[in-house]
Chains A and B, each alone.
Chain A
Amino acid sequence: MVPLSHYLILSALLFTIGMFGALTRRNAIGVLMALELMFNAVNVSFVAFSRYLPQQMLQGQIFAIFVITVAAAEAAVGLAIVLGLYRNFKTINVDEINLMKW
C-alpha cells in the first residue's frame, strides 16, 4: 500500500502550487482557480487521514464535504465579486484594482 506520507506530500505539493498561483496571478479568476486547487489539496489530506488512522472513522470525509460546500459558496460569491469589479473597472487584473490601497 501507499504510505500515508506520500499522500500528505502530494497534498503539500498541490497546496504550494496553488499558493504560488494565488500569489502571482494577475487575473482575478486565475487567483480563484488557484484557491480551488488549495481547497482540493487540503481535502486530499483530510481523506487520507480518515482512511489511514486506526479505527475506521469518517470525520475526515465529513470535514471534506463541508470544505467542498464552503468552496462552492466561495466560488459563487467570488465570481459575483469579479463580475462587479469588471463592471466598475473594466479590468480584472488584481494589481490594477488598487482603489483601497494607500
Chain B
Amino acid sequence: MTVTQGVFYLMAAFTVGASLLVVLARNIVHCAIALVFAFFGVAALFVLLDAEFLAATQVLLYVGGITILLLFAIMLTSRISARGGKIMNEQVGISAVVALALFGLMAYANLKGFPALVPPMLAASDNTASLGRLLLTTYVLPFEVVSLLLLAAMVGAIVLARREQGKD
C-alpha cells in the first residue's frame, strides 16, 4: 500500500465518520462541529486529486463561511439547552432502507462500470492557472450567470431575514 492509498483511506474513513456524526448526533451544535471536520476531510481528498484551488475554496467557503452561518442560525433559533425530545421523525426505518438500497445500487454500478482506472500522468502544469483561464474564456457566461445568482441570493436573504416594519 502506497502513501497515497493510506492517506486516501484514512481521509475517507475520517470524512465518513464525521458525516455520520452530522446526521446522528443529538445536539445540533455537535452536528455543526462535525460538519467542519467532514468539510476538512473533503478538502483533503481534493488535494489528493490535484485540485488545490478547490481545496482552498472548500476551506474558505465551507469551513469559514457556511458553517459559521449555520452556527449563527442555530444560536438564533434553537434553545441549545433544550435536551431530550426526538431528533428524528418517524420515517427513520424506511429512510434507512431507501438510503442503503441506493448506496448498494450505486456501489454495484461503480464496481461494475468503472474498472480500476488509473489516472493519467499530470503534465507539469499549473491546474489553478488553467482553471482561471477556462473560467474567463470558455466558461465566462456561466461564470457571470452564477455571480448574478449570488447577488440575487444575497438580496433575497436580506429581504427574508429582515424584520418587517411595524412588527414586534
Q: Give chain A's interface residues, CB within 8 Å of chain B.
A: 1-10, 12-21, 23-27, 29-30, 32-34, 36-37, 40, 43-44, 47-48, 50-52, 54-56, 58, 61-62, 64-66, 68-77, 79-84, 86-87, 92, 94-95
Contact = CB atoms under 8 A, between A and B. Distances in A.
A21 B34 CA distance: 14
Interface string B51-62: 101100110011
Interface residues of B, number: 86
Nearest to B76: A83
Interface in B51-110: 51, 53-54, 57-58, 61-62, 65-66, 69-70, 72-74, 76-78, 86-89, 91-92, 95-96, 98-100, 102-103, 106-107, 110
A5 B22 contact: no
Interface of B: 2, 4-5, 8, 12, 15-16, 19-20, 22-23, 28, 31-32, 35, 38-39, 42, 45-46, 48-51, 53-54, 57-58, 61-62, 65-66, 69-70, 72-74, 76-78, 86-89, 91-92, 95-96, 98-100, 102-103, 106-107, 110-111, 114-120, 122-123, 125, 127, 130-131, 134-135, 139, 142, 146, 149-150, 152-154, 156-158, 160-161, 163
